[in-house]
């Protein structure tokens, strides 16, 4: 009996290996017609530069045009592997990482054939350059329907970028005590790419800010009598137990005929500094008229950068927000910060976007402090919903105390990163400063997806989509990737452990 | 004696089918529109990996057939009859026979609630079936082994009964009636076992028949008293609006004038679609603006008929937002076939083809929306075909030419802008006039007439 079971298991294993090898390593077509163009693969990985540790770049040919796809990948040392399963090319993780290791600092050559109406077409080969610089191993994001007011299930998830493993950090179901009112979770944030000090907000039912301080979880209320709201957009100081937040009175309205669909704006917004050790909140700025938002620290923690609205023309003051929202524009400022005394210096205008009739949001300084990323659009502070929003990168050595403008900033050419006519926003740097991440709605205009681009010596590579095990995953996924953040390690606290903080 | 059992079970099943088919069909339509059963391995795996997932999956699978009320009624009839037959195996032919109908009657009462999910009924049936199979085994170690094996499997299939699994749409509400049905399915066989010494089996069928009549009479009246026919009427209006049965809506309103928000909204839409709104609106109950274009509420039910009005008016972005909000408000986080369809349509009309494609590709994985999705997919990016389409072409012409912001409240300016940007849109004019009449805004109405005269 025991012997039979062993035989059965062996047979099953052999059969599985044979099936998998047949499915993923097809022969290259013996004859084909030249298409004389590169293949229209999805995601578009043609001629991209990728990190040497990323998960397989699985892709596919359009299913409504092709019935089969075969890809032959040639590594820098001349080894060749073929893949193809229907119209999809899905590469086993082990083989892929071997190919990356063999081609580090060089390129993979990818040749693609597609069966269209019974005839094989051969496309012009493309290259995938393998950068020697790795990408941070983890990424976290909120998965949420691109909603208006109501929402249903949402989760903050973390993804291992070197594999396809995705796990949940928290969801809005486990501690929700009032389903009719619902629960919203948002603004996950980490100190210096690490997860022992992190936070996220829980709004509405059973609300509070969940704070992890040296691995210990607590739930805090950041609202004070003297603040207009609890903490909203957070920024951990890179070395101190301090978190800068904006406080916002946010509203939204809806378009009757505009692909942006919704407008999100602040009626008021200020900035606060939260001291984790003493649970104290101090005001950083609370201009009664102007709006301050999106704080972010320089990598050395000596400056706090933020966006601040410019004064409205006199004739517009006091008018309804629905009328003047397109006139609200933000510039980029910074204030020096004394780590010893926790005092801020005077405000400096770093980038004057309004002079070019633009509005700047979501600044991020590169880890070496040499470059500044931000999103720019014509107006407002919520560029993830603005189809004209693009990412801008400027070298900080151009800033000598006089405000930079579009003309004077010598901006990096970001055309390989930005999409035409779709929102590109929420830029961030990997911890080594060589990878830019952004959230873009370029795939369909509605659902945000995570894109990466290589950055080195002031030059940026073509943006490419976060790879998925099934290349069709993003086609069917009716959720947006919201607020993508790099991490060098996973969040080690489980959903259940986080939920226990709500019992207290 | 068997014939008496078959007769009573058949009578019961027939009554259930007639009830849901004739008196409660729109509750079944309502159930169907708050779920989207996908023939997709990820969807199925996500459900069955939870404790209680098998019962939930079977419930969802059956609920998709509720699109056709009679099919749904037959499914419920078969399920409740099967549960009665399983219970009756433990109850002899005696005065206790009628009690074998109690679990099924309790489930029937449970299903009168529009938030009760069919998975709960499946859970009771699977449990009863497992118990029947175990009891059939000879006493001794085989039975004990079977219990040890079956219990974890049962836990996976029907879940922990005390948490309710996914048997009720409100996750935090304990479905008491379902528990009562479950409990009765255990207590009644035990009672029959305990009472076997005192209540002797009867040889004729009269005793069993009488006990059936007693239970059926008592519990049948409870069913009838607990049935929510007011909600059924509201759901009927919603159903007719979703199928654009404008004449039938007016006929129904003529027979009994609706006095609830959804009924009045749908009645006014039907009158407007037939060009009768301003002439005849005061022949019917009105509820001010709340009966014409109500503010969007944060629930899954009331915004959907309002969204139908927005859609027909050509306020496509507004309709899209309203349908989206309604779907997001479904309490058990399910999606809706009806909402997906409308979201695909609105995205198609505004030219957001890739988003429309996403919804259509999801609908291709369904049983009853697949055909529509297959027919609609070729329209994407085919501007001429959309322009020729009787519905989409008309609605695309009605789109706002210039965008402005709105909140939850529709204003007459929104309707005025809609009409004057496309004066073929007579529905917008009807609604605008009705708006002024319902708000008694004579100045607004007079100004409108002036503008119309200048045209």
Residue among A149, A151, A476 whose CB faces B362 most closely: A476
DSSP per-residue codes, A366-398: -TTSSEEEEEEESSSS-GGG-TT-EEEEEEGGG
B165 pLDDT above the threshold of 90: no
pLDDT at A353: 97
Each domain of chain B, given as residue ranges in start order, spans 2-226, 231-454
The model's confidence at residue B387, banded by pLDDT at 50, 70 and 90, is very high
Q: Is the peptide bond before A43 cis (omega within 30 degrees of 0)?
A: yes
Distance separating alpha carbons of residues A256 and B415, to the nearest angstrom: 11
Q: What is the DSSP letter of A107?
A: E
Nearest residue of B to residue A152, measured between CA atoms = B328
Question: C-alpha dihedral over A96, A97, A103, A108, to 10 degrees?
Answer: 20
Distance separating alpha carbons of residues B272 and B311, to the nearest angstrom: 13
Asked if B321 and A150 come within 8 Å (Cβ–Cβ), the reply is no
CB count in 10 Å sphere of residue A415 = 11
**Run of H or E residues at A365:** strand A359-365
C-alpha distance from residue B15 to each of B85, B110, B113, B295 (Å) = 15, 16, 18, 41
B1 pLDDT above the threshold of 60: no
C-alpha distance from residue A461 to each of A42, A54, A336 (Å) = 18, 16, 32
Lowest mean pLDDT: which of A254-268, B187-201, B242-256? B187-201
Strand order in the sheet with A343-351: A292-297, A303-309, A330-338, A343-351
pLDDT at A234: 97
Distance separating alpha carbons of residues A125 and A109, to the nearest angstrom: 7
Asked if A256 and B404 come within 8 Å (Cβ–Cβ), the reply is yes
Measuring CA to CA, which residue among A330, A380, A375, A334 is closest to residue A355? A330
The model's confidence at residue B204, banded by pLDDT at 50, 70 and 90, is low
- Partner A contacted by B362 (CB < 8 A): yes
CB-side neighbour CA atoms (13 Å) of A477: 16
Residue-wise pLDDT for B421-454, tens only, equals: 999 999 999 999 999 999 999 999 999 999 999 8
pLDDT at B198: 76
Distance separating alpha carbons of residues A158 and A168, to the nearest angstrom: 6
Percent of chain B whose predicted confidence (pLDDT) is above 90:
75
Pick the more confident residue, B386 or A151: B386
Distance separating alpha carbons of residues A453 and A209, to the nearest angstrom: 32
Q: Tokens for A444?
A: 């369909």
Lowest mean pLDDT: which of A321-325, B242-246, B405-409? B405-409
pLDDT at A393: 98
Distance separating alpha carbons of residues B378 and A444, to the nearest angstrom: 17
Chain B residues whose beta carbon lies within 8 Å of the beta carbon of residue A261 = 317, 321
Are A462 and A453 within 8 A, CB to CB?
yes
- Which of A152, A206, A320 best probes binding to B when mutated, by most B CB atoms within 10 angstroms? A152
Task: Tell how strand A242-255 and strand B405-406 pair up.
Answer: antiparallel
Q: Tokens for B244?
A: 């654009």
DSSP per-residue codes, B406-431: E-SS--HHHHHHHHHT-TT-HHHHHH
Residue among A147, A173, A256 whose CB faces B317 most closely: A256
Asked if A257 and B329 come within 8 Å (Cβ–Cβ), the reply is no
Residue among B325, B358, B403 whose CB faces A256 most closely: B403
pLDDT at B111: 97
Question: C-alpha dihedral over B349, B350, B356, B359, to 10 degrees?
Answer: -80
Asked if A443 and B414 come within 8 Å (Cβ–Cβ), the reply is no
- What are the structural domains, with CATH classification, of chain A? 11-130 (2.60.40), 138-500 (2.120.10.30)
Q: Tokens for B377?
A: 């997919």
Residue among B317, B325, B328 whose CB faces A261 most closely: B317
Chain B residues whose beta carbon lies within 8 Å of the beta carbon of residue A168 = none
Specify the 3-state DSSP secondary structure of A64. Answer: coil
Interface of A with B (CB under 8 A): 145, 147-153, 173, 177-180, 253-259, 261, 263, 322, 325, 443-447, 475-476, 478
- Partner A contacted by B297 (CB < 8 A): no
Are A247 and A291 within 8 A, CB to CB?
no
Measuring CA to CA, which residue among A301, A322, A196 is closest to residue A244? A301
Chain B residues whose beta carbon lies within 8 Å of the beta carbon of residue A257 = 316-317, 350, 399-403
Q: Tokens for B201?
A: 């089996």
Chain B residues whose beta carbon lies within 8 Å of the beta carbon of residue A476 = 358, 361-362
Are B316 and B399 within 8 A, CB to CB?
yes
Asked if A254 and B407 come within 8 Å (Cβ–Cβ), the reply is yes
Question: Can you tell me the ipTM of this complex?
Answer: 0.88
DSSP per-residue codes, A426-475: EEEE-TTS-EEEEEE-TTTSSS-EEEEEEEETTEE---EEPP-SSTTHHH
Nearest residue of A to residue B401, measured between CA atoms = A257
Sign of the Cα pseudo-torsion (B65, B68, B72, B78, in order): negative
Q: Where are the beta strands (DSSP E) in A131-215?
A: 138-144, 155-160, 166-171, 183-191, 194-204, 208-213
Distance separating alpha carbons of residues A134 and A434, to the nearest angstrom: 8
Single pTM value for the model: 0.91
Q: Tokens for B173?
A: 């509400």
Highest mean pLDDT out of A268-272, B95-99, B139-143: A268-272
- What counts of helices (H) and strands (E) characterise chain B? 24, 1
Are A184 and A422 within 8 A, CB to CB?
no
Q: Tokens for B393?
A: 């072409």
Distance separating alpha carbons of residues B258 and B262, to the nearest angstrom: 9
Measuring CA to CA, which residue among B274, B275, B266, B355 is closest to residue B311? B266
Alpha helix segments (H runs only) across B260-336: 261-273, 277-280, 303-313, 316-328
Distance separating alpha carbons of residues A156 and A256, to the nearest angstrom: 31
Q: What is the DSSP letter of B442?
A: H
CB within 8 Å of B295: residues ≥ 6 apart: B408, B409, B410
DSSP per-residue codes, B180-215: HHHHHHHHHHHHHHHGGGTSPPPSSSHHHHHHHHHH
pLDDT at A18: 47
Asked if B354 and A177 come within 8 Å (Cβ–Cβ), the reply is no
Distance separating alpha carbons of residues A385 and A259, to the nearest angstrom: 9
Residue among A148, A151, A259 whose CB faces B321 most closely: A148
B91 pLDDT above the threshold of 90: no
B392 pLDDT above the threshold of 80: yes
Distance separating alpha carbons of residues A157 and A169, to the nearest angstrom: 5
- Which of B321, B397, B408, B410 best probes binding to A when mutated, by most A CB atoms within 10 angstroms? B321
CB within 8 Å of A34: residues ≥ 6 apart: A121, A122
Q: Tokens for A91?
A: 């590469």
pLDDT at A151: 82
Distance separating alpha carbons of residues B420 and B165, to the nearest angstrom: 53
Alpha helix segments (H runs only) across A46-172: 93-102
The parts of chain A modelled with pLDDT lower than 70 are 1-24, 179, 504
B264 pLDDT above the threshold of 70: yes
Distance separating alpha carbons of residues B294 and B307, to the nearest angstrom: 10
Chain A residues whose beta carbon lies within 8 Å of the beta carbon of residue B307 = none
Q: What is the DSSP letter of A132?
A: S
Chain A residues whose beta carbon lies within 8 Å of the beta carbon of residue B417 = 256
Asked if A447 and B358 come within 8 Å (Cβ–Cβ), the reply is yes
């Amino acid at each position: 009996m025991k012997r039979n079971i062993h035989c059965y298991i062996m047979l099953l294993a052999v059969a599985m290996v044979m099936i998998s090898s047949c499915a993923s390593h097809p022969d290259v077509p013996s004859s084909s017609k030249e298409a004389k163009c590169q293949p229209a693969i999805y995601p578009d990985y043609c001629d991209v530069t990728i990190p040497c540790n990323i998960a397989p770049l699985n892709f596919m040919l359009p299913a409504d045009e092709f019935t089969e796809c075969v890809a032959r990948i040639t590594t820098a040392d001349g080894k060749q592997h073929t893949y193809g399963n229907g119209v999809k090319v899905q590469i086993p993780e082990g083989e892929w990482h071997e190919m990356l290791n063999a081609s580090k600092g060089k390129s993979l050559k990818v040749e693609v054939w597609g069966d269209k109406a019974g005839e094989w077409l051969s496309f012009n080969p493309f290259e995938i350059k393998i950068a020697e610089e790795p990408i941070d191993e983890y990424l976290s994001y909120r998965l949420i329907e691109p909603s208006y007011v109501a929402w249903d299930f949402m989760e903050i998830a973390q993804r291992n970028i070197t594999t396809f493993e995705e796990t949940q950090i928290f969801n809005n179901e486990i501690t929700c005590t009032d389903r009719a009112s619902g629960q919203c979770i948002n603004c996950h944030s980490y100190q210096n790419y690490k997860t022992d000090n992190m936070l996220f907000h829980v709004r509405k039912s059973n609300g509070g800010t969940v704070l992890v301080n040296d691995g210990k979880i607590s739930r805090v209320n950041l609202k004070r009598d003297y603040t207009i709201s609890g903490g909203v957009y957070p920024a951990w100081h890179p070395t101190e137990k301090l978190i800068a937040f904006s406080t916002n009175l946010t509203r939204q309205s809806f378009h009757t005929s505009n692909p942006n669909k919704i407008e999100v704006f602040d009626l008021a917004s200020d900035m606060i500094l939260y001291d984790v050790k003493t649970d104290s909140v101090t005001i950083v700025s609370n201009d009664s008229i102007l709006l301050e938002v999106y704080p972010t620290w320089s990598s050395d923690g000596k400056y706090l950068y933020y966006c601040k609205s410019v004064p409205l023309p006199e004739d517009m003051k006091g008018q309804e927000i629905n009328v003047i929202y397109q006139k609200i524009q933000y510039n980029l400022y910074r204030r020096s910060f004394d780590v010893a005394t926790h005092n801020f210096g005077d405000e400096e205008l770093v980038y004057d976007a309004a002079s070019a009739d633009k509005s700047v949001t979501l600044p991020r300084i590169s880890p070496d402090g040499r470059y500044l990323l931000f999103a720019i659009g014509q107006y407002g502070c919520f560029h993830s919903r603005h189809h004209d929003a693009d990412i801008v990168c400027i070298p900080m050595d151009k800033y000598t105390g006089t405000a930079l403008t579009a003309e004077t900033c010598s901006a990096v050419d970001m055309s390989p990163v930005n999409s035409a006519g779709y929102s590109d926003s929420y830029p961030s740097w990997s911890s080594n400063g060589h990878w830019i991440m952004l959230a873009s709605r370029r795939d369909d205009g509605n659902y945000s997806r995570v894109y990466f681009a290589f950055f080195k010596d002031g030059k940026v590579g073509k943006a490419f989509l976060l790879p998925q095990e099934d290349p069709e995953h993003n086609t069917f996924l009716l959720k947006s990737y919201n607020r993508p953040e790099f991490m060098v390690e996973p969040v080690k606290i489980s959903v259940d452990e986080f939920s226990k903080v709500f019992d207290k | 004696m068997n014939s008496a059992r078959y007769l009573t079970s058949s009578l019961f099943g027939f009554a259930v089918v007639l009830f849901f088919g004739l008196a409660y069909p729109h509750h079944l339509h309502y159930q169907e529109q708050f779920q989207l059963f996908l023939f997709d391995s990820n969807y199925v795996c996500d459900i069955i990996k939870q404790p209680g997932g098998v019962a939930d999956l079977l419930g969802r699978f059956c609920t998709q057939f509720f699109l056709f009320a009679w099919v749904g009624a037959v499914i419920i009839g078969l399920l409740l009859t099967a549960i009665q037959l399983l219970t009756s195996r433990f109850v002899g032919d005696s005065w206790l026979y009628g009690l074998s109908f109690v679990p099924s009657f309790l489930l029937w009462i449970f299903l009168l609630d529009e938030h009760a999910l069919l998975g709960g009924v499946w859970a009771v049936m699977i449990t009863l079936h497992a118990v029947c199979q175990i009891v059939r085994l000879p006493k001794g170690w085989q039975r004990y082994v079977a219990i040890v094996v079956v219990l974890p499997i049962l836990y996976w299939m029907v879940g922990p009964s005390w948490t309710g699994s996914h048997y009720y749409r409100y996750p935090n509400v304990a479905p008491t009636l379902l528990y009562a049905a479950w409990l009765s399915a255990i207590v009644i066989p035990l009672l029959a076992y305990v009472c076997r010494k005192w209540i002797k089996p009867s040889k004729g069928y009269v005793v069993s028949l009488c006990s059936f009549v007693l239970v059926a009479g008592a519990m049948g009246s409870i069913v009838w008293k607990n049935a929510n026919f007011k909600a059924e009427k509201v759901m009927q209006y919603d159903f007719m609006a979703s199928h654009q049965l404008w004449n039938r809506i007016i006929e129904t309103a003529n027979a009994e004038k609706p006095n609830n928000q959804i009924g009045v909204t749908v009645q006014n839409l039907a009158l407007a679609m037939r060009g009768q709104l301003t002439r005849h609106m005061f022949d019917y109950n009105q509820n001010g603006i709340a009966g014409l274009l109500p503010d969007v509420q944060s629930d899954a039910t009331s915004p959907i008929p309002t969204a139908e009005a927005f859609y027909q008016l050509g306020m496509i972005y507004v309709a899209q937002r309203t349908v989206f909000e309604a779907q997001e408000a479904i309490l058990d986080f399910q999606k809706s076939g009806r909402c997906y369809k409308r979201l695909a349509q609105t995205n198609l009309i505004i030219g957001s083809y890739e988003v429309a494609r996403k919804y259509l590709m999801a609908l291709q994985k369904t049983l009853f929306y697949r055909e529509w999705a297959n027919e609609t997919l070729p329209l994407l990016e085919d501007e001429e075909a959309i322009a020729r389409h009787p519905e989409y072409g008309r609605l695309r012409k009605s789109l706002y030419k210039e965008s402005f912001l709105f909140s939850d409240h529709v204003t007459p300016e929104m309707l005025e802008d809609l009409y004057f940007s496309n004066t073929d849109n007579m529905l917008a004019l009807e609604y605008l006039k009705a708006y002024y009449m319902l708000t008694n805004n004579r100045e607004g109405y007079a100004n409108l007439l002036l503008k119309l005269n200048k045209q």
